[in-house]
Structure 1
Amino acid sequence: MDESEDRDNEPKDCDRRSAATGEARSTTSVHVTALDGLVNVNSLFTIAVFVGLSLTSPGQRSLEGNPACDAGPDIVRNLLVFEVVSFSFFLFSSLVAQGLKLAINLLNSNDVDESFRAHINARVLRLGMLASAAGSVIGCLFLLLSMINVIQIRLGLLSCGSTATGRAVAALVTLVSTALVVYISTVFYAFTH
């Protein structure tokens, strides 16, 4: 009778283990999908960095037509610094996300020997995802600053009071700031619930 009870308990334990494994794989696929999305967005922003760099050159005249409104070398220098810093943060964010994806995939792969299997702590995963998201946000802020410099180089300095420059900067700052607030709020909500 004891043997039959043991046999009855075995399938229940197996069912629990397979349910836990299925739940872990489901949660893991959500993490991998989120990290994929972050890497894809960072790639698009990196393209924007190089577009910004390609549109500027020293001594370029603005479309304002007034030589006093042309951007000086300090604006071009700031543009290059902001673009490089922005690219660095996007690269940091993407590399952290790719590293987490690799660890998650190794952790859940059935084809990997136990000695090669990655062991990732849930706390490390959350911190890594948060660091990757923070890198994207900081990269966006520097990209925003660099785009303001691109606008000043192409349309004229903000100090000249050009309507086109003012509208372009206002639209850029408003839309990007709103999007960043939504993004940060969503990430904060996801990490606290």
Structure 2
Amino acid sequence: MAISVLAHLRRRLLPTTLIHVMALDGIINVNSLFSVALFLGLTTTGRTTSALAERVVSSHVYSFSSFMFSSLVALALKQSIKPTSDAVAAARGFHVETGRVSVVLLRVGILGSGMGSVFGCGFLVWALVDLVQIKLGPLGCVRDFYSLGAIVPLVVLVPSALAVYVFLVLYAFTQ
């Protein structure tokens, strides 16, 4: 029974609208902005050879890889949407751009792209925390007030936004 349901889901196509394509474009654009920020962060790291600086570079690379994964999945999903014409809407005078995509493909693509973005943001926050410690002093030093002032909003606001993002991606996954 479960196999026939899965086979039915694979054959069933989901009508999609311009909203889905715009959402995928948004993922790609945001990931591109984060990728630019990653390269800017790498240029500000300097030539120090401390373990902290090495961790900043590796975190930037992990973050860039995650954002690239997310963007490529979103691009592939966008390319898989087959445009169709909505004759009924056109007859009524509405301009509706629709497409067809497999439900399973859409859900797996959204989940994969979302996971890539979440991991990319996590590694980016980790890199920024290390970068703040390099530039303003490590946590626990005399000047740690400035480090804490920079790090606390980062580790509070970004995970909060990621929680909202994960909730909405999971909601879209179930719809």
TM-score in same-fold range (> 0.5): yes
1:28 aligned partner: 17
Q: 2:105 aligns with which of 124, 145, 162?
A: 124
| Structure 1 unmatched runs, 5+ | 1-22, 60-71, 111-118
Deviation at 1:48, TM superposition (A): 1.4
8 Å contact from structure 1 (residues 58, 73) kept in 2: no
Alignment check: 8 A CA contact 2:110 2:169 kept: no
Letter in 2 for 1:35: L
Structure 1 position 94 matched with structure 2 position 71: yes
TM-score (norm 1): 0.71
How large is the RMSD of aligned CA atoms in angstroms?
A: 1.8
- Does the 8 A contact of 2:62 with 2:120 survive in 1? yes
- Alpha-carbon distance, 1:89 to partner: 0.4
Is 2:167 the counterpart of 1:192?
no
Give the structure 1 partner of residue 3 of structure 2.
none
Distance 2:107 2:170 in 1: 12
The SS at the match of 1:158 is coil
- Write out per-residue CA displacement over residues 62-109 of structure 1, whole angstroms, 9 at most, x where no aligned residue: xxxxxxxxxx610000000000000000000001111111111xx216
Q: Could you list the runs of 5+ residues in structure 2 that have no partner in the other structure?
A: 1-13, 86-99
Which of 59, 64, 85 pairs up with 2:62?
85
Name the SS for the 1:108 alignment partner.
strand
How is 1:1-193 mapped onto 2 (pairs within 5 angstroms)?
24=15, 27-59=16-48, 73-104=50-81, 107-108=82-83, 120-161=101-142, 162-193=144-175
Name the TM-score, length of structure 2 as normaliser: 0.78
CA distance in 2, matches of 1:95, 1:185: 22
Q: CA offsets, 1:152-179, max 9 Å, x none?
A: 1110111315100011111110111111
The residue type equivalent to 1:54 in the other structure is T
CA separation in 2, counterparts of 1:101 and 1:192?
19
Which structure shows the higher helix fraction? 1
User: How many positions carry a matched residue from both structures?
Assistant: 147
Query: Any conservation in 2 of the 1:100–1:125 contact (CA below 8 Å)?
Result: yes
Question: Which residue type is aligned with residue 92 of structure 1?
Answer: F
* Greater strand proportion: 2
* 3-state SS in 1 of match to 2:140: helix
Quote the offset at 1:120 in angstroms.
4.6
